Structure 1
């Protein structure tokens, strides 16, 4: 059952001259993630929630909602049974297909291990792929204390999703306990929602919002189409070495599976800051390229935001990874416990520092592009 909130007709894809993007939250976890994104007033993206639990669905402020499996579940949820979730989504396939109509890219977000998200998310992904939509899943896995049965269900759900998406970003909730041991459970789940938000926003920011350097939709397609597992990291820093520090924090993000970037097939780097210099952009990109195979595709975008003041924010998404690229857990624990850069990253940063020419005034990207335009016109 499709429910419209304050809309006279079916939701129309937001057209911004670029790709039309939709975020589809499935189940309780997916709905909470979408709710968090909606509250951030992200523009240029359509948000949809689908759930078997009518009460949970009604609590959300997302403008587009689909109650799935109403006849089977009577609006009471899937009872932690992925099979019920799958059947529920299949019974409302027409509504899901209608919601996806007209979009170029779909993010499917869900919490793996329960009933609706685990069972229904692969159905939504299959429909999106059948419609020729670039499909990216961003999902969380259960805490270890939630038990082996839930972990096994999550594993099966991720395997099913992988068959129908171009790329999948997996965020283990256990990393929350490693990185933020003193947080309450409520704040820990908010941290997970923040990561989901940055995953979507980091990939779409320079597509839907024109920047000084844009990542266009075809770049994203090249990096993500049929690439399998992906890894995302976020970093923020300020000060004299803010660019290298933000990039290093993004690469070593303790909330995510630290995968070996050397085997990645693609890397997307999104930079947001104020007065970002060419030197800083070169530093960020060089660190990324230094950790990749020379044949990998590297795309980067820059959005100038004066509200960032001295801060610079970097989001990286590495694609085309396999689970065999995952290092030993001790590396993850070490990354979460220390703030010192990894040796390879330090070497890259030191090299860049040695190559820096002395200049009384940094050349910003905006000034550089303006100078290039003036040269063309002269």
Structure 2
């Protein structure tokens, strides 16, 4: 069995419930099925002690509770930023110590909450000024469109800032929760929400690990190798990083008939694994790594096969000088896996959809605030009567306003009849 190796030692800087959940699963990824060694480390930071305690305890993952904010910040990004600032010295010491041997760090954050979204910009600033400049990027999850006005507003506020600062950041990997949710719905096997989110996080972790091993573990079949330095360059490049993966049975591929494989490869690139809707013509660089069953590699990787894949990439990312395709043989019986990575992209169009949804929610909220409250209006129109109405016989017989009002009588005792009993 092939001895698996990694190209880069990742560190995951997880923030808030969403960010720490992904980061801890990335730390839990083993090197391979035969090697249980966990090659990555994670620093898990949250303001909510209960959420932090729910995460599994791993030897290569460290939990940090933001002191003074153990009950959380209630989706308040201003409070989330303050929680960071109040604990900055502790966080800085931990980051410098814990990530000192890491080649590349992902700041992991679920956009929309309070802690991670609030602390995100400060976490970026911390890494940039603490010796990690040029060696970190962002791993961000977008909220679903039905998560409410507050969540969408929080996410969009941070995305606005990141868009302006994109040219100065490393790679941004966007995880679209709406896309993953819809894919999950299409699966036959039902799962609880917790199980589904766990599977999504494991999918992200596994994908990043696979890309990190393809560049170091396999022997090229051909003249080109997408190596560790090129992978690091893509992670260092600004803009969004789009990742696609396509797995095909080799028995279904006829190398002389591109229709048997190219349509599925094209769909994988357009749909992506984590998010979709990118304008791929904006790409700064791209690369394809194809890993096939070693027994079939030479037969599969003909000039015609590689040329078909490369031509598609050239048509999809036309502004690039080259579109490298690396081919490898490996121990994956009967299968071929195609990984496509495109860097330097703008945010996907799902961000625009979130903005439209947020604008509609704001409109509805404004409309609701201006709506007349019928109950309040009815109550406001009610005037309490100044005089209490009287229905006693004397008032009815002497209804002369000029007559002096009779002296009020003491209320009749309803039990007076008891005095007449002998």
TM-score > 0.5, shorter chain as reference: yes
Alignment correspondent of 2:282: 263
Query: Tell me, what secondary structure is at the counterpart of 2:344?
Result: strand
* Residue 89 of structure 1 pairs with residue 84 of structure 2: yes
Match of 2:314 among 282, 289, 294: 289
Structure 1 unpaired stretches of 5+: 1-15, 330-378
Match of 1:27 among 13, 16, 19: 16
Measured in 1, the distance between the counterparts of 2:160 and 2:52 equals 26
CA gap 1:181/1:325 in 2 versus in 1, 3 angstroms: closer
Query: Tell me, what secondary structure is at the counterpart of 1:145?
Result: coil
* Residue 166 of structure 1 pairs with residue 170 of structure 2: yes
Structure ID, larger Rg: 2
Query: Tell me, what secondary structure is at the counterpart of 2:84?
Result: helix
**Number of residues of Structure 1 aligned to a counterpart in Structure 2:** 311
Mapped contact 1:23–1:48 kept (Cα < 8 A): yes
Deviation, structure 1 residue 270: 3.5
* Residue 215 of structure 1 pairs with residue 226 of structure 2: yes
Alignment correspondent of 1:225: 236
Alignment correspondent of 1:67: 64
Alignment correspondent of 2:137: 136
Between 1:104-113 and 1:238-247, the stretch displaced more is 238-247
Superposed CA offset, 1:66-94 (max 9, x none)? 41421x20x22232222333233342223
Superposed CA offset, 1:241-283 (max 9, x none)? 3753553242132651221212211113333332233235554
CA gap 1:328/1:154 in 2 versus in 1, 3 angstroms: closer
Mapped contact 2:27–2:39 kept (Cα < 8 A): no
Superposed CA offset, 1:312-335 (max 9, x none)? 222322111124878998xxxxxx
* Residue 251 of structure 1 pairs with residue 269 of structure 2: yes
Mapped contact 2:6–2:213 kept (Cα < 8 A): no
Deviation, structure 1 residue 166: 1.0
Measured in 1, the distance between the counterparts of 2:232 and 2:25 equals 26
- 1:152-191 matches, cutoff 5 A: 152-161=153-162, 163=165, 165-181=169-185, 184=191, 185-191=193-199
Mapped contact 1:243–1:283 kept (Cα < 8 A): no
Alignment correspondent of 1:236: 247
Query: Tell me, what secondary structure is at the counterpart of 2:252?
Result: coil
Measured in 1, the distance between the counterparts of 2:46 and 2:16 equals 5
Deviation, structure 1 residue 294: 4.2
CA gap 1:262/1:325 in 2 versus in 1, 3 angstroms: farther
Deviation, structure 1 residue 28: 1.3
Between 1:57-66 and 1:111-120, the stretch displaced more is 57-66
Deviation, structure 1 residue 147: 0.6
Mapped contact 1:81–1:114 kept (Cα < 8 A): yes
Alignment correspondent of 1:197: 205
Structure 2 unpaired stretches of 5+: 32-37, 254-259, 354-422
Superposed CA offset, 1:174-203 (max 9, x none)? 113433335543354245324422442244
Measured in 2, the distance between the counterparts of 1:95 and 1:328 equals 36
Match of 2:338 among 307, 311, 314: 314
Alignment correspondent of 2:401: none
Deviation, structure 1 residue 301: 4.7
Mapped contact 1:171–1:257 kept (Cα < 8 A): no
Query: Tell me, what secondary structure is at the counterpart of 1:180?
Result: helix
Superposed CA offset, 1:83-115 (max 9, x none)? 333233342223223323232211222211111
Measured in 1, the distance between the counterparts of 2:350 and 2:141 equals 17
Measured in 2, the distance between the counterparts of 1:84 and 1:121 equals 12
Measured in 2, the distance between the counterparts of 1:317 and 1:180 equals 23
Query: Tell me, what secondary structure is at the counterpart of 1:146?
Result: coil
CA gap 1:129/1:315 in 2 versus in 1, 3 angstroms: farther
Superposed CA offset, 1:39-92 (max 9, x none)? 43145333332222233323323322141421x20x222322223332333422
C-alpha RMSD over aligned residues: 3.2
